[in-house]
Structure 1
Amino acid sequence: MTQHVSPPRDGTGKAAPVDGPPAWRVQLGRADVRTLTLLGVLAALVLIGGITQPDAFLDTRNLQLVLTQASVIGVVTVGMTFVIVSGGIDLSVGAIVALASVWATTVATQEYGFVGILFTAIVVGVGCGLVNGVLIAFGQMVPFIATLAMLASARGLALQITDGRTQVVTVPSVLDLGERDAYVLGIPPLVLVFAAVTVIGWLVLNRTTFGRRTVAVGGNAEAARLAGIDVRRQRLYLYLLSGLCCGIAAFLLIVLAGSGQNTNGNLYELDAIAAAIIGGTLLTGGRGHILGSVLGVLIFTTITNIFALNNLQSDVQQIAKGAIIVAAVLVQRRTASTH
């Protein structure tokens, strides 16, 4: 007698597919396609730069400058990616970078030398992230409102500290990090820090329980809570992480500029969000890619460099960035609707 075995069924009562690759392999394939696409865009930009300004763009010093400039916003973008993956947003990152940079370059702080400047920048960044996290996680404030308030407050405090003046760094050990003598095998120290933050961010998001909880909270916060995840504490940690990245970025900016200004970090929040979006991070949360975000940063920085070398106006540059963001969002929506 032949026994009939019913096919497995999904939650809707329909027969579940028994053939086809597993879900993790499909997601990996999408990530590979996205990464290759972004690498293709970056390669095309390099080709354009090499054709339009071959001597200037392909010069070793210019390429080092592009990577160095990408390092500051890149570190901020890593923290922003975690926040967006969790379903949040942080509009205050640029203002936090400004506040941390001016607080760390006051005359009183510089008396403590390299350690004092680095410590102050990180503490200020983490402190601002703590305020954001408490307001959002425990104060039940909407992330947009809470971080917008921090943006205004941090900018105002940075202006008050500097009184509108540029604070010049006089600590040799800090300034030396920006000199060519400090390069390691031709790589600026700032780029090495950016690379380290990127690797650590990728490992945390993809290979740790913290990363899995972040994705779970962004995908469905209520389901994550029912699964035993402390959603409020997780959100607090994420804004602390974003603040930490802002503090590190502020120190890198101090090394790069040799000063602290209240205008530092202007529009960093928009650049970081845009880089994360074109890198494949969903604004609704639940999915994000550190490598994609980093490639997004490199694409935007390369565009800026090409426009500057070709003496093109900044308004055209902003239009180009806007077009790239719109295209990335449309691709995301089309991909989501077909899967």
Structure 2
Amino acid sequence: MTDQPHAETVPETAPETSTASSRSGGPAARLRLAGTNQRQVLGLVAVLAILATVGGITTENFFQVSNFVLLLTQASIIGVVSIGMTFVIISGGIDLSVGAIIALASVWATTGATQEFGTAGMLFTAIAVATVCGLVNGGLIAYGGLVSLIVTIAGMAAFRGLATLISGGRPQIVETPGFSAIATTDILGIPLLVYIFAAVVGIGWLLLNRTTFGRHVFAIGGNPEAARLAGIDVRRVRATVFVLSGVCCGIAAIMLTARTATGASTHGTFYELDAIAAVILGGTLLSGGRGTLIGSILGVLVFTTVTNIFVLNNLSTPIQQIAKGVIIVAAVLLQRRANKEAAT
């Protein structure tokens, strides 16, 4: 943790480079990793520019304002989930239960009993349920000594099963106008959902890059034993990142439920894969210790833009899935190459 003063000069990359430096050694390695991060972000911007060019060539509707608003709205929900996932992966963990948490939160928030408490009651229920799910995951992983992959796979099955049990496998209609208004309200022509996404991004960025907690997240992801010897409560930090992931899932559940006007046990299907893919594409290491929220957001926008172009061109869902798979593999290969260059 001797590199903390350096964090003020390179805010987006310093925490991650401090942990990486303990493995690759010295200021030169830190500068190489910072440069790698910047190149990855610039690369994603270039990819978005290429996709926009392709979209403009293949369909005349791509550059319409309404399409950009739709694209941002579609990106907002999975984007919020990806913020929480970025914290988890940087810390060295993985969360495969996010989609199931969204389903459970949406179902619980739309039961008849909950809707009697109005919009405030539904909002509180969604956040509370998702937070408790994150706390269960984090507690078992941090204090139970279990592997995050196993715990969150179990959570994926249990949480979605509970959602199905509560809803009886049927969609529950939102009958509270104030709650539905979350998805239909526009401010200056931009949906409220996009503003919610922007707020979560801002809070997440500050938490990750401008707080001691954020530096600790990078530290335990880079070298948990060194972090422990430096006096960091590794278990508490590890549990907290899963709670944060749960909170993000609760917010995403509110957004998705308001947009679809239903709570359903099928909500959030494959969201865990989309979020992990976006985070990896954004440059976050699966092994932990390095990553950026800006990269994750760009990763979300890349996948959302790809889907948007395919939909505008009436291409089938299987083709979209193949394209996503190719993008993920390419991102991992490029990430490995960048890591080798940074280490030499």
TM-score, scaled relative to structure 2? 0.90
Return 5+ residue gaps in structure 1 as ranges.
Answer: 1-15
1:16-31 alignment, distance < 5 Å: 24-31=30-37
Alignment partner for residue 270 of structure 1, among 269, 273, 296?
A: 273
- The question of 1:296 aligning with 2:299 is answered yes
- The question of 1:279 aligning with 2:295 is answered no
1:169-184 alignment, distance < 5 Å: 169-179=174-184, 182-184=185-187
SS in 2 for 1:294: helix
Equivalent residue letter for 2:294: L
Q: Separation in 2 of the partners of 1:207 and 1:216?
A: 14
Q: Separation in 2 of the partners of 1:101 and 1:51?
A: 39
Give 1:31 deviation, angstroms: 2.4
- The question of 1:67 aligning with 2:72 is answered yes
Give 1:34 deviation, angstroms: 1.4
- The question of 1:79 aligning with 2:59 is answered no
Matched-pair contact (CA < 8 Å) for 2:79–2:300? yes
Q: Separation in 1 of the partners of 2:222 and 2:42?
A: 25
Q: Which has the larger radius of gyration?
A: 1
State percent identity of aligned pairs.
60
SS in 2 for 1:216: helix
Equivalent residue letter for 2:210: R
Q: Separation in 2 of the partners of 1:58 and 1:186?
A: 16
1:181-200 alignment, distance < 5 Å: 182-200=185-203
CA displacement 1:132-176 (0-9 Å, x = unmatched): 011001111110000000000011011111111111111111222
Give 1:59 deviation, angstroms: 2.5
Give 1:324 deviation, angstroms: 0.6
1:298-317 alignment, distance < 5 Å: 298-317=301-320
1:154-303 alignment, distance < 5 Å: 154-179=159-184, 182-303=185-306
CA displacement 1:15-61 (0-9 Å, x = unmatched): x99xxx8555444332222111101111211221121111x322322
SS in 2 for 1:329: helix
Say what the alpha-carbon RMSD is for the aligned residues. 1.4
> Across the two proteins, how many residue pairs are aligned to each other?
318
Alignment partner for residue 134 of structure 2, among 129, 139, 163?
A: 129
Matched-pair contact (CA < 8 Å) for 2:183–2:255? no
1:312-323 alignment, distance < 5 Å: 312-323=315-326
Quote the residue 1:4 is aligned against: none
Equivalent residue letter for 1:53: T
TM-score, scaled relative to structure 1? 0.91
Equivalent residue letter for 1:282: L
Regions of 4+ moved over 6 Å: none
SS in 2 for 1:338: helix
- The question of 1:335 aligning with 2:320 is answered no
Q: Separation in 1 of the partners of 2:80 and 2:320?
A: 22
- The question of 1:38 aligning with 2:44 is answered yes
Q: Separation in 1 of the partners of 2:182 and 2:205?
A: 26
Return 5+ residue gaps in structure 2 as ranges.
Answer: 1-24
Q: Separation in 1 of the partners of 2:339 and 2:65?
A: 40
SS in 2 for 1:141: coil
